[in-house]
Structure 1
Amino acid sequence: MKILLVDDHKIVRQILKEFLVEKLQGIEVDEANNGVEGFNKVKQSYYDLIIADINMPQKDGIQMMRDIHAYDPNLKVVALSMMDDQVSIKKMLQAGAVGYVLKEGNTQELLNAIQIIVNGNKYFSPNVAEVIMSSLTKNKTRSSGVKLTKREKEVLQAIFEEKSNQQIADELFISPRTVETHKYNIMEKTGARNLAGLVKYAIREKLFDDLFY
């Protein structure tokens, strides 16, 4: 597996590179100092995954993500940033990022995120997932006409927190079978099949517009 680290802090790149080389067998890690250098490397070589900071000189991670997505929409990019504000999350996801990990987390979380993403799924740190969930469950009337019930919103919150059916059932004082029913209804209403589908739904229906308010 070949990974590109894009961050303007050299010490961050060095620490992450040493950690990834130690933990992931057969991995190759390249580095870039900013979005311009990162995009140039993408055009010169193939990467299985790109891990990028957002706030960088010359070209930030969001613009780099847009350039990468236009160049090759199949390339996987995950944001690794201290920025947990709603606007940054919205812009990075709309640009095509498949994950968003906060630097306030630990290296094990990043490792988990990498393994999840390279297997074709998406990953979001818990605080990021809360922002996405909050946007999804706004009470505004949508063009799609989709409205979730209060209980469905509670189940959706738990889904973003990666809780099991039994944990959700215990927390909401309902049966696991009822949890399954609520999950089915949420997926039917949104047309999603999993967490990644819910995020795509939010972007498609412009639910992230709420993040500016």
Structure 2
Amino acid sequence: MNQPDHKSILLADDHSLIRQGIVFLLEDINPDFEIFHASNLQQALESLKTNPIDLAIIDAHFPDGNSLSILPEIKKIKPEIKILIFTGIEEDKHALKYLNAGANGFLSKMNEEDEIESAIRKMLENGEYISPATQALLMNSMHNPKLINPLLSLTERELQIAKLYAEGYGNLEIANNLDVKQNTVSTIKKRIFEKLDIENLVELIELIKNN
């Protein structure tokens, strides 16, 4: 990575006010950072491919998708890059799956400004930021592997159906494949989404790909 005073930083968030707020914090840390902006996932990927980014500060959700889906791709493009997820989603429910997918830190937008600045400093200096809340989650995950791999919370049949969805099969195809009623598949799909705390098939596919 570059020397501390020459780092290049990508700010990826669909709200310009959030990005500008981080810019102010970065200027306090060091006014010589080179800063790039992205308001969606596609712009973020393009910027990462064309610029020498050292640290990417990325929101979790964008209008064009969930950043969980691009973390493995970012690490393929730039294995040495450091990624801080800066988001409003619940840390206790989501931090571990982002870290598991390749992020180096997870920071809640609900934190006070001094904690946000401290987290960014730690990312710049040490390449990672693990909050006390996430440290507790990591400790708990040693005794409860479901926290790191939520797929372990599924029954054998639920996991079987989840994998079929991930392979591109629809409700009717899965019902015919497993010789069950279509509404049974729909009910199990709803249960899978509730257990995994996800909202759509894209998130399901990413979970299966990353676990």
1:84·1:128 contact (CA, 8 Å) conserved in 2? no
CA distance in 2, matches of 1:121, 1:43: 20
Query: Which residue of structure 2 aligns with residue 175 of structure 1?
Result: none
- Counterpart of 1:111 (choices 112, 117, 135) is 117
Equivalent in 51, 54, 61 of residue 48 of structure 1: 54
**2:85 counterpart SS class:** strand
1:209 equivalenced with 2:149 (yes/no) = yes
Post-superposition Cα deviations, 1:105-160, rounded to whole Å, max 9, x if no partner, equal 1222222222222233421222222222221233x8xxxxxxxxxxxxxxxxxxxx
Deviation at 1:87, TM superposition (A): 5.0
Deviations for 1:49-84, whole angstroms, at most 9, x for unmatched residues?
000010111132212222201212211101111112
CA distance in 2: counterparts of 1:10 and 1:212, whole angstroms: 38
Partner of 1:101: 107
Uncovered stretches (5+) of structure 1, i.e. residues with no partner: 141-205
Q: 1:212 to 1:111 in 2, by over 3 A?
A: farther
How high is the TM-score relative to the length of structure 1?
0.61
| 1:27 and 2:30 matched | no
Q: Is 1:83 matched up with 2:89?
A: yes
Contact kept in structure 2, 1:52 and 1:79, CA below 8 Å: yes
**Pair 1:211–1:90, CA change in 2 (3 A):** farther
1:10 equivalent in structure 2: 16
Matches within 5 A, 1:130-169: 130-138=136-144
The number of residue pairs the alignment matches comes to: 147
Q: Is the 8 A contact 1:102 1:125 kept in 2?
A: no
CA distance in 2, matches of 1:122, 1:21: 20
In 1, Cα distance between equivalents of 2:81 and 2:63: 22
User: SS of 2:126's equivalent?
Assistant: coil
Percent of aligned positions that are identical: 27
> Which residue of the other structure, out of 61, 65, 90, is the alignment partner of 2:71?
65
In 2: Cα distance, 1:103 partner to 1:212 partner: 29
Structure 2 unaligned spans of 5+ = 1-6, 154-211
TM-score (normalizing by structure 2): 0.62
Q: Is the 8 A contact 1:38 1:64 kept in 2?
A: no
Q: If you compute each CA radius of gyration, which structure gives the higher value, 1 or 2? A: 2
For the residues of structure 2 that align with 1:66 and 1:38, how far apart are their CA atoms?
14
Is the partner of 1:124 in helix, strand or coil? coil
1:43 deviates by: 0.4
Q: SS of the residue aligned with 2:65?
A: coil
CA distance, structure 2, for counterparts of residue 212 and residue 78 of structure 1: 26
Alignment pair present for 1:126 and 2:132: yes
Given that 1:21 and 1:29 are in contact with CA atoms closer than 8 Å, whether structure 2 keeps it comes out as: no
CA distance in 1, matches of 2:95, 2:44: 20
SS at match of 2:148: helix
Amino acid aligned to 1:127: A
Q: Bigger CA drift: 82-91 or 25-34? A: 82-91
Q: CA RMSD in A?
A: 2.3
